[in-house]
């Protein structure tokens, strides 16, 4: 009797798991993401240690180009905020706002 109940519960859990779909929404609004090999070079890049060419433009913006040709542009806006745009496989923009109460807001789109 107990074994029968256990088997029924396990069968019910397996059926429920099959019906469930795992959906992960990434910042760029895709539902799937290809993996990135995790090796020393990529770990160092995550920490900011990557081959990069940095150019300080006449307009005050900063353009950084990494070894893959991906570009991050930083613009210091007239109204005090900062906009960073990363252009690689996908484009991601981050706006940093310094609020009057001393806090900092960051919006990634």
Are the C-beta atoms of residues 7 and 13 closer than 8 Å to each other? no
H/E stretch holding 53 reads: strand 52-56
Output helix, strand, coil percentages for the chain, rounded to the nearest 5.
Answer: 25, 30, 45
pTM for the complete prediction?
0.60
Beta strands 91-98 and 82-87 are antiparallel
Q: How many domains does the chain have?
A: 1
pLDDT, one tens digit for every residue, the chain (109 residues): 677 777 887 777 777 666 665 555 566 656 555 666 778 877 887 787 888 899 999 999 999 998 888 899 999 998 889 999 999 888 999 999 999 999 999 999 8
> Residue 45 belongs to what domain range?
2-108
Taking only Cα atoms into account, the Rg of the chain, rounded to an integer number of angstroms, comes to 23
Indicate the DSSP class of residue 80. S
């Amino acid at each position: 009797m107990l074994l029968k109940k256990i088997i029924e519960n396990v069968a019910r859990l397996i059926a429920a798991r099959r019906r469930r779909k795992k959906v992960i929404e990434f910042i760029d609004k895709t539902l799937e993401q290809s993996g990135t090999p995790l090796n020393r070079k990529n770990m160092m890049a995550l920490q900011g240690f990557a081959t990069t060419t940095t150019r300080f433009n006449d307009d005050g913006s900063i353009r950084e180009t990494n070894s893959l040709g991906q570009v991050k542009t930083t613009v210091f806006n007239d109204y005090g905020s900062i906009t960073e745009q990363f252009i690689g496989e996908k484009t991601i923009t981050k706006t940093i706002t310094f609020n009057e109460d001393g806090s900092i807001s960051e919006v990634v789109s």
